[in-house]
Amino acid sequence: MSDTATHLGSGKVRELYSLDGVRLLLVASDRISTFDVVLPTEIPDKGRVLTGLSGHWFAQTAAIVPNHLLALRDDGRSTECRRLEMLPIECVVRGYLSGSGWKDYRASGAICGHVLPEGLVESQQLPEPIFTPATKAQSGHDENIDRVAAAALVGEARFDEVERLSLELYGYVSAQAAARGIILADTKLEFGIDGDGKLVLADEAFTPDSSRFWPADEYEPGGPQPSFDKQFVRDYCESLGWDKTYPGPELTDDVVMGTRARYVEAFERLTGLAFDDYLEQPEVVLA
């Protein structure tokens, strides 16, 4: 048989396998992390929502940049993809001031060398989206780096190419999300190089695990925003007084069900498709 897969590695909530010399299998589990800790309780179908969303965006953005997607498997959570030479930087685009971007701005007035206006508040929309690359940390947190440091890792021409493509992708998807009442505050993309030296979008794209999605109707700059998907989990964990170190708490059934509903709602609002239809026949709908 030719359906053996070799485990290559684990992310916090995903597994990576080799299928053959040219194909990989990315499997999204139902695990969820909060405050950087993977919780002992799973969210049913979370992996399917993320795989379906990622597949949707790969299909929708294929005219902007080719991507690694070959096929979605019938389990709805597994993506067969092309094996690439991955670039050693995370390609982050920020349209709003949050997370490490907000931290860096408060400390220096700049993010990754982008000097910003004075007086911006947390979660404020930036004058324009900015490309803020980061290193890929093996453990711990990625480190934000400026253009010079990133270009040293990937080369000047490749840097310019991923910057342009990342901003174009953010522009396309943030407009789609905004039209459906969801703010795409920021997103992390990963690119690889194929056998012909061409840039290819890889990994997961525009999922709640790689992006900050905020409900537009609750947007209120001047502080942190509620997360579209994880807010019930965060609020519940905070209510327990958990110290945010391993191991995390078990979730209650109502927190699990409420959170699953938020993931499904994100899928349906962002794709315009019924999640039950995706479960029945996992597929990407071409633009």
Q: Residue numbers of the site for ligand PZK (CB under 6 A)?
A: 9-11, 14-16, 24, 26, 68, 81-84, 86, 192, 202-203
Minimum gap (Å) between residue 10 Cβ and ligand PZK = 6
Please, which residues have CB within 8 angstroms of residue 165's CB and are 6 or more apart in sequence? Answer: 64, 65, 191, 199, 201
In what helix (H) or strand (E) does residue 51 lie, and over which residues does it extend?
helix 46-60
Q: Looking at beta carbons, which residue is closest to ligand PZK?
A: 14
Minimum gap (Å) between residue 227 Cβ and ligand PZK = 22
Measured distance CA(111)–CA(108) in Å, rounded: 8
Q: Which residue has the tokens 């990963």?
A: 190
Minimum gap (Å) between residue 131 Cβ and ligand PZK = 20
- By beta-carbon proximity to ligand PZK, the closer residue of 14 and 212 is 14
> Which structure tokens are listed for 276?
């039950």
Number of Cβ within 10 Å of residue 215's Cβ equals: 18
- By beta-carbon proximity to ligand PZK, the closer residue of 30 and 122 is 30
Minimum gap (Å) between residue 28 Cβ and ligand PZK = 8
- By beta-carbon proximity to ligand PZK, the closer residue of 66 and 113 is 66
- By beta-carbon proximity to ligand PZK, the closer residue of 27 and 151 is 27
- By beta-carbon proximity to ligand PZK, the closer residue of 27 and 111 is 27
Q: Which residues pair with 125 in a beta bridge?
A: 96
- By beta-carbon proximity to ligand PZK, the closer residue of 9 and 241 is 9
Q: Which residue has the tokens 């994880």?
A: 230
Spatial CA neighbour of 244 closest among 254, 255, 236: 236
Minimum gap (Å) between residue 236 Cβ and ligand PZK = 27
Minimum gap (Å) between residue 73 Cβ and ligand PZK = 14
CA atoms within 13 A on the CB side of 176: 20
Strand ranges inside 194-247, DSSP E: 199-202, 211-215
Q: What is the CA radius of gyration of the chain?
A: 19
- By beta-carbon proximity to ligand PZK, the closer residue of 69 and 130 is 69
Contact (CB, 8 A) for 64 and 169: yes
Minimum gap (Å) between residue 191 Cβ and ligand PZK = 10
Across the chain, how many H-helices and E-strands are there? 7, 16
Measured distance CA(287)–CA(223) in Å, rounded: 37
